[in-house]
Structure 1
Amino acid sequence: MRQPELTPLASSASLPEPGIMGRGLGGLFFVLALAIFGFSLYNAAHAAGVAGTHGTLTVERCWVKQGSRSSSDTTVCGGTFRSDDGKITDDEASIRAKVKSGSKVSVQQAGGSYVRVGFGETTRWIALFFLGWLVVAFGMSFVATGRFPRSGMQVAMITRAVSGTRVGAVRKWFVGVGLAGSGVCLLLTLLAWLLS
């Protein structure tokens, strides 16, 4: 019995022409990655206790905040925040968490919001930082080739077009660091959660 020949990926669809749209798409991924880096490092610094004002949130009640179609529901607990030095009190403090009423939660004040403090919380935010590396890696192919994909097949073809080049090597390194870093951080987060 004769096996069917495998057709190369390039024969099933054609690559779009290089242009400003492809480079713009890649640039958009870089901007998104910068936002992820900033957001995750800001929250990681607060969760580690490096930035912000440390204190305790005494939980008075919890409620479910309805999510939109694209996001799930979130449990929010609110109560009174008191800083360790006693200078700051906020009766309308809240955090995204599911804890019992009357619980005292160690938090860090981050501007107008509050972030839970602890090793598990810090590693969770650092995991998000490493996921930003994957966003950068995804955008590299579009910046390097200038090609704007119009289908999932074209995304795969554009990614394949940079393999074997310097951009491909750097992209592979970014993917490896992003996956390894986020995997280790999520594992540490899970261990911290299991041990608490």
Structure 2
Amino acid sequence: MQPELTPLAPTAALPRPSIMGRVLGGLFFVLALVTFGFGLYNAAHAAGLAGTHGTLAVERCWVEQGSRNSSDTKVCGGTFRSDNGKIIDDQASIRAEVKPGSKVSVQQAGNGYVKVGFGETTRWIAMFFLGWLVVAFGMSFAVTGMFPRSGMQVAMITRAVSGTRVGMVRKWLVRGGLAGSGVCLLLTLSAWLLS
């Protein structure tokens, strides 16, 4: 006599399509646009394509305490002087680890400053590619309208679109996002190791 087979856990069912699933997908698209914009904005400044170029004479460094969800950040500040000498800011700061007394090539970006260089540029471009992953994650919810209530349902919704055109686009976005961000982060690391 064989024991009766019973499932160990109840199987999750796909949720019904609703406006909440489409809103969730839309939120991921908005988050991706912010990620794209932030990454490209800072990459353009780090590459010297936008903003005012100058030098930051680092006088002091400190650690800004992160919130519960983020880690502490090292910030260094001092005096920024533009290359043309027209802009002098004695309250300038950047989020980077540099030694007090050093001079750092920076680009003025709005009210802040971005460190200039190849490694910094590729680091910000990596963020652009991470935006592709955000789009890919939200596509399934936007297209199906399904709002997941558990991790199991997220996987099921993703699997539900896997054989469709949306699934193909999603697959290429994931591959491109992972490859692009991986290459950029390797270039950033190599630039950091060579400096």
| Distance across 2 between alignment mates of 1:133 and 1:181 | 9
Please list, as runs of the form range in 1=range in 2, the aligned pairs for 1:46-85 lying within 5 A after superposition: 46-85=45-84
Q: Structure 2: which 5+ runs fail to align?
A: none
Give the letter aligned to residue 46 of structure 2: A
Partner of 1:116: 115
Aligned length: 189
Q: 1:9-32 deviations in whole A, cap 9, x for unaligned?
A: xx8110110010001100000000
| Distance across 1 between alignment mates of 2:42 and 2:143 | 32
Q: CA deviation at 1:98?
A: 1.3
Partner of 1:90: 89
Partner of 2:98: 99
4+ residue segments displaced more than 4 Å: none
Partner of 1:177: 176
Partner of 2:22: 23
| Distance across 1 between alignment mates of 2:62 and 2:12 | 50
Give the letter aligned to residue 107 of structure 1: V
Q: Aligned with 1:101: secondary structure?
A: coil
Q: CA deviation at 1:77?
A: 0.4
**TM-score normalised by length of structure 1:** 0.94
Partner of 2:139: 140
Partner of 1:163: 162
Give the letter aligned to residue 15 of structure 2: P
Q: 1:136-173 deviations in whole A, cap 9, x for unaligned?
A: 00000001111000000000000000011000000001
| Distance across 2 between alignment mates of 1:55 and 1:86 | 9
Partner of 1:12: 11
| Distance across 1 between alignment mates of 2:89 and 2:26 | 41
Give the letter aligned to residue 165 of structure 1: T
Give the letter aligned to residue 94 of structure 1: S
Q: Structure 1: which 5+ runs fail to align?
A: none
Partner of 2:152: 153
**TM-score normalised by length of structure 2:** 0.95
Range moving further from structure 2, 94-103 or 148-157? 94-103
Identity of aligned residues (%): 82
Q: Aligned with 1:12: secondary structure?
A: coil
| Distance across 1 between alignment mates of 2:131 and 2:152 | 23
Q: 1:17-73 deviations in whole A, cap 9, x for unaligned?
A: 001000110000000000000001000000000000000000000011111110111
Range moving further from structure 2, 164-173 or 11-20? 11-20
| Distance across 1 between alignment mates of 2:110 and 2:138 | 32
User: What is the root-mean-square deviation in Å for CA atoms of aligned residues?
Assistant: 1.3
